[in-house]
A and B are shown apart, each in its own frame.
Chain A
Amino acid sequence: MQQLISFIFKNKHFLFFLLLELFAVYFTIQSHSYHRSKFVNSANFITGGIYKRINNFKEYIRLKEENNRLAEENVYLKNLLDKEKMKGTLNGLALIDTTGSNQKYFYISSKIINNEYNRSNNYITINSGSNKGITLDLGVINSKGIIGITKSVSNNYATVLSVLNINSKINIKLLRSNYFGSLSWNAKDYQMVQFLDLPVQANIKIGDTVITGGRSTIFPEGIPVGTIKNFNIINNNYEYVNIDLFNDMSDIGYVEVIKNFDREEIKELEEKTTNE
C-alpha cells in the first residue's frame, strides 16, 4: 500500500498528464462518431456569443453580395409563383388554400456565424437553436444549394455538419434520370464533392446536374447540389465521380433550415414496419 502511494506520489505529474490525455482522446473519438452527440462543440453560450460578435463585423463587408443573392432569389421565386398561378388558371381550377393542411416543409431562416471549410471535419455554426424550433438532423440549404445537416443544438445556436465533412452522407440523384447514390467528401478540395454508389447504367456526362434525392426525411427532393465535373470508369464501375458544388462553401451567409412536418409520421411508420 505504501509502495503504491509512493509510486503515485513520485509519478503524479505523469499520471495527471495521462488522465488529461485520456480525456482529450475520448473527446476526439467522440467527435469522430457521427451519431453520438458531442460535448465539445461551438453551439454553446460562450462560443456562440463570441462567433456572433465576430460575424457582426464581417457582415458589413458582405452586405452587397448578400443583397444581390437575395434579389436573385426573389426573382426566381416570383417566376415560380407565376408559373404555379398559370397552372391553376389553365386547368380552370381555383387555387386551393393549403395553409395548415398540406404544407410539408417549413423553412427557418438563419445566419451563419462561423464557417469552416479547410479541415476534414468541417462544421458550421448558425445563430438559431431550439428556441426557433431547430432540432437534430434537419437539412440546411441556401438559394444555391445544400449546405449540411444540423448536428448539435443549444438554446440559441446550432452546429451544422457541413457537406464538407468526411462523415457526411446525403442521398442525391441525377436530375435527368432517377439513378441515385450518396454524396460524400474526400477532404481534398472544398469545391469538389464525390458521388458514391452510382450504378454505371446511369451513363453520366460531364456537366449533368445533381440534386437531392428525397429518399430521406432530411432534404426534400430537388434541392440543387452541383454539376458533374469528371469521372472515371474501371471494371464497369465508376471509380470516382466528382461533383462541382453550386455553392462556394467558403462564401456563404444566410441559410434556411428545413423542417419536415411529416417526419415523425414517416419515422413511426418505418419503425413499425421494421418491428413487424
Chain B
Amino acid sequence: MNRENLNIAFVFIGLILLQIMILNNINFLGYINPFFYIVFIFYYSVKKLDSAFLLLSFLLGLAIDFFSNSGGINAAATLFIAYIRIPVIKSVLGKTELEFNNFSFRKLKFNKTISIIAILTFVHHFIVFGLEYLKFDSIQLIVTKTFLTSIFTIILILISFILFSKKNAS
C-alpha cells in the first residue's frame, strides 16, 4: 500500500514536470500542445470513487494552472473527468456494476479502451478550451482546438499504455 502511494506521488510530480517542461512547448502547427498529464486519471487504480482521487486530480490540474497562469481551468476539467470516470467506464462496457478488484485497462478490448480514453479526453479538452475562451462566438475555435489537441493527447496516452504494458509483461 505504501509503495503504491509512493508510486502515485512519483507519477504525479513526473507528469507535472513533463507537461510544463516539454509538452507545453511543443506548439505543433503553431498552437497544439497535448495535455498528456491527464493520463493520471487512467493510471490511478479504478476503485470505488474516493475523495483522495478527486483531491489529487484537482491538485494536479491546479499545479498545471499555476505554471500556465490559467486560473482554475485545468483543475476544473481534470476534476470533472475524475468524477465521471467510473460512470463513463460503466456505460462504455455496458455494465451496471464493476468488479473493482480486478479491473484493469489492459484486460479490456482495445476498442473499448480507446473509447473510454477518447470520451474522457474530449470532455477534458472541451472544458479547458471552453473556459479559456468563455465566449459563445468563439465556439468554432474551441471545437477545432478541442478536436486537434485531443487527437494528439489520445495518441500520446495510447503510446504510454503500450510502453507501460510491455514493460510489465517482460
Contact = CB atoms under 8 A, between A and B. Distances in A.
B51 A40 contact: no
B14 interface: no
B17 to A, nearest CB: 8
Interface stretch (B35-43, B63-71, B105-113, B160-168): B63-71
Given A20-B55, A118-B27, A187 B72 contact: no
Given A13-B50, A16-B51, A20-B54, A116 B69 contact: yes
B69 A121 contact: yes
B146 to A, nearest CB: 13
A96 interface: no
Contacts of B62: 24, 27, 40
A44 B163 CA distance: 36
B72 A23 contact: yes
Contacts of A51: 67
B69 A159 contact: yes
Interface string B39-61: 00000000001110011001001
B88 interface: no
A50 B61 CA distance: 17
A32 B79 contact: no
A21 B141 CA distance: 24
B89 interface: no
A187 B68 contact: no
Contact of B79 (A20, A121, A123): A20
Q: Is the interface of B mostly helix, strand, loop or mixed?
A: helix
B33 A27 contact: no
Contacts of B8: none
B132 to A, nearest CB: 6
A250 B30 CA distance: 10
Contacts of A159: 69
B71 A44 contact: no
A16 B54 contact: yes
A42 B72 contact: no
A85 interface: no
B66 A47 contact: yes
Contacts of B21: 54
A180 interface: no
Contacts of B50: 13
A17 interface: yes
Interface residues of B, number: 35
Contact of A50 (B20, B51, B68, B70): B20
A4 interface: no
Nearest to A29: B71
B14 to A, nearest CB: 13
A31 B70 contact: yes
Contacts of B75: 20, 23-24, 27
Contacts of A123: 68-69
A31 B68 CA distance: 11
A25 B67 contact: no
A202 B156 CA distance: 51
A215 interface: no
B12 interface: no
Contacts of A16: 51, 54-55
7 contacts: A13-B49, A20-B79, A27-B71, A27-B72, A32-B134, A40-B66, A120-B138
Interface of B: 17, 20-21, 27, 30-31, 33, 49-51, 54-55, 58, 61-62, 65-73, 75-76, 79-80, 83, 131-134, 138, 141
Given A28-B134, A44-B66, 7 more contacts: A13-B49, A13-B50, A24-B61, A26-B72, A41-B69, A118-B31, A190-B30
